[in-house]
Structure formats: structure tokens, C-alpha cells
Amino acid sequence: MSKTQTAKTKLLDAALSLIREKGFTATTVDDLCARAGVSKGAFFHYFKSKDELGVAAAQHWSAVTGELFERASFRERTDPLERLLAYIELRRELLRGEIAAFSCVVGTMVQETYGQHPQIRDACAASIFGHADTLVDDIAEAMRQRGVVADWTAESLAAHTQAVLQGAFILAKAKNDVAVAIESVDHLRRYVELLFAPPAQTRSAS
Amino acid sequence: MSKTQTAKTKLLDAALSLIREKGFTATTVDDLCARAGVSKGAFFHYFKSKDELGVAAAQHWSAVTGELFERASFRERTDPLERLLAYIELRRELLRGEIAAFSCVVGTMVQETYGQHPQIRDACAASIFGHADTLVDDIAEAMRQRGVVADWTAESLAAHTQAVLQGAFILAKAKNDVAVAIESVDHLRRYVELLFAPPAQTRSAS
DNA sequence: ACATCCATACCGACTAGTTGGTATGGAAAA
DNA sequence: TTTTCCATACCAACTAGTCGGTATGGATGT
């Protein structure tokens, strides 16, 4: 178990960092082996092909991030709207350091693979929308609690949060500056606040 | 001029479609030549390297889309807020057909190149933020007109619109379905409406 | 009018190096 | 012994980029 899993896990961890740095296509099998510190034989022992590693990397990413958000302190909040806003605040705080340290593996990977590698695309979709699903119950409950009758669904708002984050990563990459991403997350927070603001009430313009 | 420019233009047009389909890295020089119907000699006659074509493709994309939006009918509107909302509506309407037909070349390309090809990254940034700039004056004027005093800037909202669109493209690619992108653009429109809603007034929860 | 010159546009075979993937064999666990 | 795990050596296909060459057409000199 200990050594058995290490080569595979090292390869998957190497995949996460390399895909974030260079993308999936530009990452070669030799790159992966070098960063993981294993041989090519180990690679093809665990993965039948580079594509299969792509699928496994997406699933690995889901597992790693899933655990991160499950253990995060914002989960302790009981009020659903507060928990949603705390989630957004956490996403904002995670925008620290190098872009490759906070950007999304599957968002990057799906752009390159959606038309050529359907299995990788589907694994990326499962990761993104699986994560979005963790927000749906809170959004739905917040809508109920605050009496929000809307022409949008909890699912669509959950997906929208992920769209904003993915787009924020792209803008940060383009500008080579995380500030623009932070501002977009601020807009997202403001949007959620406006959606759930008490009705029939004077609102400030900010 | 007529035949002189065709080989280069055909290569640039081929680049736009191929990058949208497969990404920049996966697109080979031979792919580009085949789709453009020209020889490899022609390619390297016009571009010193594949990277140089990447930069030129981003600039070509800026020119093509710049003209599209400059000529669009929403520009005829005189009210700045209405023009902004009409822009968003146009972006929504453009989400038709295959994903490769509406997704963003530079948004795709910058994900793969931001760390490895700074010149391409900068060309992509110029395209994205140059486009965002075309919205800033309208947003600023709308804020003035409607008396919006905000802790956000016109620039940041303009950038945010692009973040939402880029993120919407990613979600559409992952799900292989444009509906999720349309819903995100709807959230964006709703956000802008809420930001500019008249203050001190009852608002509906939708 | 005609010959010369030369720049631009383009072609396609070629190469040096890289790519994903395979074949084989050995160490260690079961 | 058999299976799992992993290393080394290797390969065929593909990659970006090169190179020698052709075609065209405009400018210039005579």
C-alpha cells in the first residue's frame, strides 16, 4: 500500500501541478515521470495511456478539492445564506500566490480536451458540477428561508459561481495578476447579496 | 493584395477555428496548413515560428471581433445602461450552434500559454481587456446618470462581464451543452440590472 | 520595345529532435 | 511460484523548423 500507491499518487500529483502550469497537451509523459521521480515503466504500469491519466487526474482533483472544502471552517455555519457567502469568501481567500497554485485543473484541461477526448471532458464536467452541487442545497434552503421567488434555480446559481471563478482564473492568467480575479469574486459576492437582500426595502447603491 | 494576403489570412482564419476546436498546443503547423490549403513554406514565409502565429492569431481575433461588435445594432442605442444590457443580450444571442463557433479563441489560448509563451499571453490579454474597455465608458456614464455611488469601478464591472463569459464557455464545454452558459449570462444581466436598479424603491425578489 | 534585375509569394522534401507507447527483465511481495 | 511493481532500452510516428527551388510581377536601364 505504502510504496504501491506512492508512484501512482506521485504521478497524479505531478499531473495536477503540470496541467495547471502548462496545460494537458503540453505536458508530456516524460514531464510527468520526471516531476514524479518515477520511470516511464511506472507510468504505463498504472495508466494505459496519457488520456487515461487525464481522466484519473480529474478524479484525483475532485477528491483533493472535495476534501479541502468538506473540512473547511465555513461548513460549520448553520445559516445557509451565510454559508454560501462564506464559501465565496473562502474562494476569494484562496486566490493567493502564484496563479498555478490556485487555478483549476479541470477548467484548464476541459478547454483543450472537450472536442478530442470525451472521457476527459466528462471527468472534468463531473468535477466541476459535482463541486457546484455541494452549494445547491444551501442556495435552495436560503431561497426558502428568505422567501425568494425567482426565475432562476438554485442549480443555475451554483453553476454561475463556478463560471465566475473559472472566468476569473482566465483573466488572472491573461493579466498575470490576481487582482482582477479578486474583483470578479467580489462582484459575485455582491450579486448573491443583492439576490437575497430583503425585499421591499431601501437599498444602498453599493 | 488580393492573392498576396490570402495565404496569410487563410492561415489566420484556420488558426481561429483550430484553436477553438483543439487548443493552441494540440494544433500543429501541418494542421494549420492543411485547413488553410497552403504549404508549410507559406506558413514559415509569413510567420517566423508557431509562437509568432499565436500572437498574430490573437491580434486577428481582436480585429475580427472588434469589427463585429462595432457594427452591431446595440451600438445605436443612446442610453448607456440600455446599451450595456443590449451588449449582454447580444452576447447571449451569440451562444448558438456548436461550442467551437461561439467560444473565445484568446480565452482558450491564454490558458495553455500564460506560463510558457509570455508574448502570446500578452496578446490575449490585450484582446480580452481591449474588448472590456469598449464597455467602460457606458458603465461609467450609466453610474453617473443613475447616481450609483459604488465601491466597485466601471473597469472592474467591465472585466467581470468578460469573466462571466469566459467561465460560461468553460462550463458549456464541460457539459457539452450551451444551456448552462446561457443561464450564466442571464445571471450577469440580472446582476447589472440590480446594480443599476433605482435606489429607495421596492424591488421584486426575481 | 525589350532585357535585366530583384523582391515577394509560395512550394514540398527534408531533418533533428520529441512524442506516446512497447518490450523485456528484474526485484520484491504474496 | 506467481503476481505486482517498476526500471531501462527502444521504436515508429510525429513535431517544428529548414532549405533549395519556382513563379510572378514591378522597376529600371537601354
Q: Per the structure block, which three cell numbers stand in for B150?
A: 459604488
Spell out the residues 6+ positions from residue B199 whose beta carbon is closer than 8 angstroms to its own.
A202, A203, A204, A205, B147
For residue B194, how far is the Cα from the chain centroid?
24
Residues of B in contact with A17 (CB under 8 A): none
Q: Is B182 on the interface with A (CB under 8 A)?
A: no
Residue B28 lies in a domain: no
Instruction: Report whether pLDDT(A1) > 60.
Output: no
Confidence label for B182 from pLDDT (cuts 50, 70 and 90): very high
- The whole-angstrom separation of Cα B33 and Cα B127 is 24
Confidence label for A57 from pLDDT (cuts 50, 70 and 90): very high
Residue A204 lies in a domain: no
Confidence label for A205 from pLDDT (cuts 50, 70 and 90): very low
Q: Per the structure block, which three cell numbers stand in for B4?
A: 498576396
* pLDDT value for B97: 86
Residues of A in contact with B170 (CB under 8 A): 107, 110-111, 128, 163, 166-167, 170
Q: What is the CATH number of the domain that holds A84?
A: 1.10.357.10
How confident is the model over A111-139, as pLDDT tens digits?
999 999 999 999 999 999 999 999 999 99
Residue A38 lies in a domain: no
Residue A85 lies in a domain: yes
Confidence label for B202 from pLDDT (cuts 50, 70 and 90): very low
Instruction: Report whether pLDDT(B3) > 60.
Output: no
Instruction: Report whether pLDDT(B1) > 60.
Output: no
* Number of domains within chain B: 1
**Picking from A192-206, B58-72, B85-99, B124-138, which range would have the lowest pLDDT averaged per residue?**
A192-206
Distances from the Cα of B42 to the Cα of B25, B26, B55, angstroms: 20, 20, 17
Nearest Cα to Cα of residue B72 among B95, B88, B53, B56:
B88
* pLDDT value for B199: 64
A145 touches strand D (CB under 7 A): no
Instruction: Report whether pLDDT(A97) > 90.
Output: no
Q: Do residue A129 and residue B174 have CB atoms under 8 angstroms apart?
A: yes
Residue B43 lies in a domain: no
Provide the domain limits for residue B138. Answer: 49-195
- The whole-angstrom separation of Cα B21 and Cα B33 is 16
Residues 51-110, chain B, touching A (beta carbon < 8 A)? 99-100, 106-108, 110
* pLDDT value for B90: 98
A111 touches strand D (CB under 7 A): no
The DSSP line for B3-56 is HHHHHHHHHHHHHHHHHHHH-TTT--HHHHHHHHT--HHHHHHH-SSHHHHHHH
- The whole-angstrom separation of Cα B67 and Cα B22 is 25
Distance of A162 CA from D1 C1′ (whole Å): 54
Instruction: Give me the mean pLDDT over the B168-187 stretch.
Output: 98
Residue B84 lies in a domain: yes
Residue B191 lies in a domain: yes
Q: Per the structure block, which three cell numbers stand in for A1?
A: 500500500
* % helix, strand, coil for chain B, step of 5: 75, 0, 25
Instruction: Give me the mean pLDDT over the B121-145 stretch.
Output: 98
Q: Is B25 on the interface with A (CB under 8 A)?
A: yes
Could you tell me which chain B residue has the CA closest to the CA of A125?
B174
Q: Do residue B199 and residue A200 have CB atoms under 8 angstroms apart?
A: no
| Phi, psi dihedrals of residue B26, rounded to the nearest 5° | -75, -15
Distance of B44 CA from D17 C1′ (whole Å): 8
Q: Do residue B112 and residue A22 have CB atoms under 8 angstroms apart?
A: yes
pLDDT > 90: what percent of chain A?
91
* pLDDT value for B6: 80
Task: With both helix axes pointing from N to C terminus, report the angle between A118-145 and A80-93 in degrees, rounded to the nearest 10.
Answer: 140
Kindly list the protein residues whose beta carbon lies within 7 Å of any strand C atom.
A 27-30, 40-41, 44, 48-51; B 3-4, 6-8, 38-42, 44-46
Mean pLDDT (chain A, rounded): 93
Q: Per the structure block, which three cell numbers stand in for B79?
A: 442610453
The DSSP line for B86-118 is HHHHHHHHT--S-HHHHS-HHHHHHHHHTTT-H
Q: What burial class does residue B198 get, using C-beta atoms within 10 Å of its C-beta: 0-12 exposed, 13-18 middle, 19+ buried?
A: exposed
Are the beta carbons of A65 and A138 closer than 8 angstroms?
no
pLDDT > 70: what percent of chain A?
94
Instruction: Give me the mean pLDDT over the B181-196 stretch.
Output: 98
- The whole-angstrom separation of Cα A124 and Cα A106 is 5
* pLDDT value for A201: 46
Residue A1 lies in a domain: no
Q: What burial class does residue A26 get, using C-beta atoms within 10 Å of its C-beta: 0-12 exposed, 13-18 middle, 19+ buried?
A: buried
